[in-house]
């Protein structure tokens, strides 16, 4: 093996090591930085007027039910029934006519007994960053409870704090790793990317638009996203 090849392999190994170390460091830094704002029990959770449910598909490939989706709906219902939130903002992807995460979430919550007038849809939550930032800039929420699995809540809260939102997270039930391995693996680069978005690029949501008011306390009216 030539010395040039040896140096090339060494540089490649060092580069891979640095990238891997950066991914691991960013993952654990995000968790550590928001640890005091994560809750598993509704009783311990501070009350907020609005709970933000982060979107995911109702079904996975093959037509099976998506447990991430089911557990988020159950968590949102638990907070609503406990009086910890008054309105539920469901935010997700509606990039095509045939794919509508907010509509699916609203239907699932209504089926579980949440009044339709207490559910607001945000159709432009294409990324977690979009959902969180739009909750403030479009829907006017400076204090918020985010509802998803713990790993997702941690990243969302970091985004919220960076954008001036007093945010806490309520953890939906985790999905067994064997059933959610792709989602868990995607979270590793997603955390590194969010640090780049927040602290280097200053990334904005894909769409903002006109303000949409969530009904004030005591009023009930339907409000839609885009």
Q: Please write the tens of the pLDDT for every residue from 106-131.
A: 999 999 999 999 999 999 999 999 99
- Token pair for residue 138? 């479009």
Which pLDDT belongs to residue 218? 45
Sign of the CA dihedral 180, 183, 188, 191?
Answer: negative
Q: Does domain 3-201 have CATH number 1.10.10.60?
A: no
Question: Structure pTM?
Answer: 0.88
Which pLDDT belongs to residue 224? 41
Which pLDDT belongs to residue 85? 98
Which pLDDT belongs to residue 6? 64
Comparing 26-30, 53-57, 140-144, the range with the smallest average pLDDT is 26-30
Integer Cα distance of 175 and 183 in angstroms: 10
Give the mean pLDDT of 142-161: 97
Q: Please write the tens of the pLDDT for every residue from 56-69.
A: 999 988 788 999 99
Which pLDDT belongs to residue 11? 76
In 3D space, the residue among 197, 149, 189, 160 whose CA is nearest the CA of residue 33 turns out to be 160
Give the mean pLDDT of 96-106: 91
Q: Which class for 36: exposed (0-12), middle (13-18), buried (19 or more C-beta within 10 A)?
A: exposed
Which pLDDT belongs to residue 177? 83
Which pLDDT belongs to residue 216? 52
Give the mean pLDDT of 24-50: 94
């Amino acid at each position: 093996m030539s010395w040039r090849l040896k140096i090339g392999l060494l540089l490649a190994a060092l580069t891979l090591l640095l990238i891997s170390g950066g991914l691991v460091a960013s993952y654990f830094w995000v968790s550590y930085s928001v640890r005091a704002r994560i809750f598993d029990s509704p009783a311990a959770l501070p009350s907020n007027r609005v709970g933000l449910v982060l979107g995911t598909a109702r079904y996975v490939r093959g037509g099976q039910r998506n447990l991430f989706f089911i557990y988020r709906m159950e968590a949102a219902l638990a907070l609503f029934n406990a009086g910890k939130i008054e309105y539920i903002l469901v935010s997700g992807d509606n990039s095509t006519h045939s794919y509508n995460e907010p509509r699916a979430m609203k239907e699932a919550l209504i089926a579980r007994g949440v009044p339709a007038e207490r559910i607001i849809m945000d159709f432009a939550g294409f990324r977690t960053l979009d959902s969180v930032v739009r909750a403030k800039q479009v829907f006017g929420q400076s204090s918020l409870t985010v509802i998803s699995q713990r790993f997702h809540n941690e990243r969302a809260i970091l985004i919220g704090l960076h954008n001036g939102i007093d945010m806490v997270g309520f953890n939906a039930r985790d999905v067994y790793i064997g059933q959610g391995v792709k989602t868990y693996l995607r979270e590793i680069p997603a955390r590194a990317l969010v640090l780049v978005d927040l602290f280097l690029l200053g990334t904005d949501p894909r769409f903002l638009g006109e303000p949409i008011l969530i009904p004030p306390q005591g009023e009930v009216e339907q409000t839609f996203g885009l």
